[in-house]
Amino acid sequence: KVWDAVDTGCCLKTYSCHSCAVRAARWSSCGRRILSGGFDSMLHLTDVETGKQIFSSKNEFRISALKFHPTESNIFICGGFSPEVKAWDIRTSKVLRVYKAAVQQTLDILFLPEGREFLTSTDAVSRDSADRTIIAWDFQSAAKISNQIFHERYTCPSLTVHPKESVFVAQTNGNYMALFSAQRPYRINKKKRYEGHKVEGFAVGCEFSPDGTLLVTGSSDGKVFFYNYHTARIIHTLSAHKEACVSAIFHPVLPSLLATCSWAGEIKVWQ
């Protein structure tokens, strides 16, 4: 569904192209198309105006994560319930590269600035090892750069990169967000941890404000937490939903607008 979030709050259009749950949807950089994937293993690129599929393809696994390449608008990466992550080219409707890891599921995908490298967070956590929880990949060669980035035994349901500084944040199921360098060897910042919210097994998303001063996250108790990026202190909380708040995202053009969504299927836009 596409909504008018600024003025009327009405649903503008509904696109019924999937036969099972839609797990990931992304706007194209031009803002006229939506890429979607889900549990029917289908990938669709839909024209928002006409509702027609510009690109459709059957994937080999159920999809849970999608990301467009930051500089190549015709290329995207998909991951899901598979040890593989795939790069697709919309122009040819073919897989460009396959990235293979000994995991069962990809939870999130994050391109680092310029798109030469990207990160995947996975479900690979065992009692005696936390390697492969976050994996860094070379986009062109499909080689693993590192799988020893995060050493604590928690999965990381979402990743987000800072808009101005060379750092990224991982949401962890240990009820905190961890800060890392976005340059090799991607070291964790042990002096900063963003704590206070709850994750508790939900795929709770996190994001930086457009100017990079705030870090916002949902919480399993339905609240939204705003952290000062530099001090890691909580500066504001919002009682947003009765169920778990699984995502909180700033508007890309109007930074005073925030959208949140809940486990109960509710979407709210805040000023």
pLDDT higher than threshold 90 for residue 253: no
Place of tokens 């809940």: 262
- Is residue 33 very low, low, confident or very high in pLDDT (cuts 50, 70, 90)? very high
Query: Are residues 65 and 103 in contact, defined by beta-carbon separation less than 8 angstroms?
Result: no
Q: What percent of the chain has pLDDT over 90?
A: 87
Co-location of 128 and 16 in the same domain:
yes
pLDDT higher than threshold 70 for residue 127: no
How far is residue 8 from each of residues 12, 186, 226, measured CA to CA in Å?
10, 43, 27
Tokens of 57: 């393809």
pLDDT higher than threshold 90 for residue 264: yes
pLDDT higher than threshold 90 for residue 179: yes
Co-location of 174 and 100 in the same domain:
no
The one-letter amino acid code at 25 reads A
Query: Are residues 62 and 41 in contact, defined by beta-carbon separation less than 8 angstroms?
Result: yes
- Cβ contacts of 19-23, under 8 Å, gap ≥ 24: 23/62, 23/63, 23/64, 23/65, 23/80
How many domains in the chain?
2
Closest by Cα among 192, 191, 188 to 180: 188
* CATH number (domain holding residue 54): 2.130.10.10
Q: What percent of the chain has pLDDT over 70?
A: 98
pLDDT higher than threshold 80 for residue 105: yes
Co-location of 170 and 221 in the same domain:
yes
| Rounded-to-integer distance, Cα 82 and Cα 248, Å | 27
Q: What is the pLDDT of residue 254?
A: 86
Mean pLDDT, the chain, whole residue set: 94
Q: What is the pLDDT of residue 9?
A: 85
Domain stops at, among 106, 129, 149 = 149
Tokens of 194: 């963003």
Q: What is the pLDDT of residue 95?
A: 97
Q: Pick the range with the lowest mean pLDDT from 41-55, 115-129, 141-155, 232-246.
A: 115-129
Domain stops at, among 101, 133, 149 = 149
Q: Who's near 129: CB < 8 A, 6+ residues apart?
A: none
- Is residue 252 very low, low, confident or very high in pLDDT (cuts 50, 70, 90)? confident
- In the three-class reduction of DSSP (H, G, I as helix; E, B as strand; rest coil), residue 85 is classed as strand
Q: What is the pLDDT of residue 129?
A: 60
How far is residue 169 from each of residues 155, 165, 180, 199, 252, measured CA to CA in Å?
13, 11, 6, 15, 19
What is the distance, to the nearest Å, from the Cα of residue 124 to the centroid of all Cα atoms in its chain? 18
Q: What is the pLDDT of residue 153?
A: 87
Cis check: omega of the bond before 185, within 30 degrees of 0: yes
How many residues in the chain?
271
Q: What is the pLDDT of residue 7?
A: 85
What is the distance, to the nearest Å, from the Cα of residue 211 to the centroid of all Cα atoms in its chain? 19
Tokens of 221: 């108790």
Residues 185-240 have pLDDT tens digits of 999 999 999 999 999 989 999 999 999 999 999 999 999 999 999 999 999 999 99
Could you list the residue range(s) of the whole structural domain that residue 221 is in?
153-270
